[in-house]
Amino acid sequence: MPHTEIRPHVVVLLTEVDYDRHDDASRLYRCDGSPLTAAEHALLSTATRAEFSAANAQMRLEDEWARELDALKETFVELLMKYAHLPEGSTVSDVVDIMTDEDYAEYERLLPIVTAQDTLEYLAEHGAD
C-alpha cells in the first residue's frame, strides 16, 4: 500500500468545517460562521481518507480537551465555593488568604488553566497535570 502524505493545512481546514450547518446546501461554513472560499471548497474535494482520519482524530482530541477543561473549571468553582461563607463583597484575594495549604496549591494549579485566553491551547502546550 503506498504511503499517503497528510497535508496539515487540509486537516486543519477539515476541523474548521461546521458539519451541522445545513441552511445552504451549496456552501460549507466554518464553525465561526464564515463561509469557505471557492479555493477552500476545491481543496476539500482533494482530501484523502488519511486526512479525514487525521481530522477526525484531532476533533476527538479537542472534544476530550473541552470535557477535561469543563471538569477543571467545575473543580475550580467548587474549590472557591468551599469558602462561600465569607461576607458579601469579599474578593478572591480574601478567599486565598484563608485557604488551607492544600487548597491553595490546587488553586495555584488551576488558576492559569481556567483563566487562560485560549484554554484548549494552554492544555495542549502545558497539560493539566
User: How far apart (Å, rounded) are the C-alpha atoms in residues 2 and 50?
Assistant: 12
Q: What is the mean pLDDT of residues 28-49?
A: 93
Q: Is 49 helix (H, G, I), strand (E, B) or coil?
A: helix
Burial (Cβ within 10 Å: 0-12, 13-18, ≥19) of residue 106: middle
Whether 113 is in a domain gets the answer: yes
Whether 102 is in a domain gets the answer: yes
pLDDT over 50 at 1, yes or no: no
Cβ(11)–Cβ(55) below 8 Å = yes
87 pLDDT band, cuts 50/70/90, is confident
pLDDT over 80 at 4, yes or no: no
Whether 32 is in a domain gets the answer: yes
Number of domains, the chain: 1
Whether 67 is in a domain gets the answer: yes
Mean pLDDT, all residues of the chain: 87
Burial (Cβ within 10 Å: 0-12, 13-18, ≥19) of residue 13: buried
pLDDT over 50 at 71, yes or no: yes
Whether 2 is in a domain gets the answer: no
Domain ranges, residue 61: 8-126
